[in-house]
Amino acid sequence: MAGLFITFEGGEGAGKSTQIRHLAAHLAENGMDVLVTREPGGSPGAEAVRHVILSGAAEAYGPAMEAVLFAAARSDHVEQLIRPAIAADKTVLCDRFIDSSRVYQGVTGGLAPSLIRAIERVAIDGMVPDLTIILDLPAEKGLARAMHRRGEAAADRFEKETLATHEARREAFLAIAAAEPERCRVVDADRPKEEVSEEIIAIVEKLIENRAETSSKTGRTLAKPA
């Protein structure tokens, strides 16, 4: 069976990396071959672009420039790392993916959905996540967590924006989840991390069970489009 591709989305300080670590450890303990990665980044080419974007070096050229840079990084990441890993039966857990572009560059960056979707198609070439966990948290709480984590370091290109912008992003993630309930699951992240982790594990175990059932019924593996 082709590996599973699971992405984690949400605003700043929602706890994505902690939850990805817990889930990865749980799946590995259960014998799964797990690969943890992140965006922007994950492959050498994409990590180079990450530096350009998050330093704010491209901000002056506008959200369309940034959207194309995110997409260039994504395409490299998909082709160099994600697609080969999925083909090798690995379970890939990715910190941010297409929904971050839809929300940050699309909704709060003001780019047209048609442009965002066109760039997205080119960047992922069919590599749609099997599951997207959206960690939901009031923006104010997420920003406080992110500030605490950062310590003395300055806020990055996107963290530094206004509370209203962060709140709009939260709403935009929830709107994606409502529009694509097959792919997306919203998890309340405003709880102790152990509770959040338990819910995520239950969601992923259900997905694995459903997949195994489907492939035993059809006698086919669920390979991803090339």
Among positions 13, 70, 77, 186, the unique one binding ligand TMP when judged by CB under 6 A? 70
Is residue 37 within 8 Å of 60, Cβ to Cβ? no
The reply, when asked if residue 110 is annotated as ligand binding, is no
Is residue 6 within 8 Å of 96, Cβ to Cβ? no
Does 8 participate in binding ligand TMP (rule CB under 6 A)? no
Give residue 88's Cα distance to chain centre.
21
Is residue 101 within 8 Å of 158, Cβ to Cβ? no
Does 77 participate in binding ligand TMP (rule CB under 6 A)? no
Does 96 participate in binding ligand TMP (rule CB under 6 A)? yes
| Per-residue contact string for residues 9-48; x = within reach of ligand TMP by CB under 6 A | -----------------------------xxx--------
Among positions 104, 111, 132, 139, the unique one binding ligand TMP when judged by CB under 6 A? 104
Binders of ligand TMP in range 141-170 (CB under 6 A): 158-159
Helices marked H in 55-162 — which ranges? Answer: 63-77, 83-87, 98-100, 113-124, 139-150
H or E element that contains 5: strand 5-10
The nearest distance, CB 96 to ligand TMP, in angstroms, is: 4
The nearest distance, CB 158 to ligand TMP, in angstroms, is: 3
Q: In terms of CB distance, is 57 or 223 closer to ligand TMP?
A: 57
- Burial letters 60-74, b for 16+ CB under 10 A, else e: eeebbebbbbbbbbb
Mark the binding-site residues for ATP, compressed into ranges. 10-17
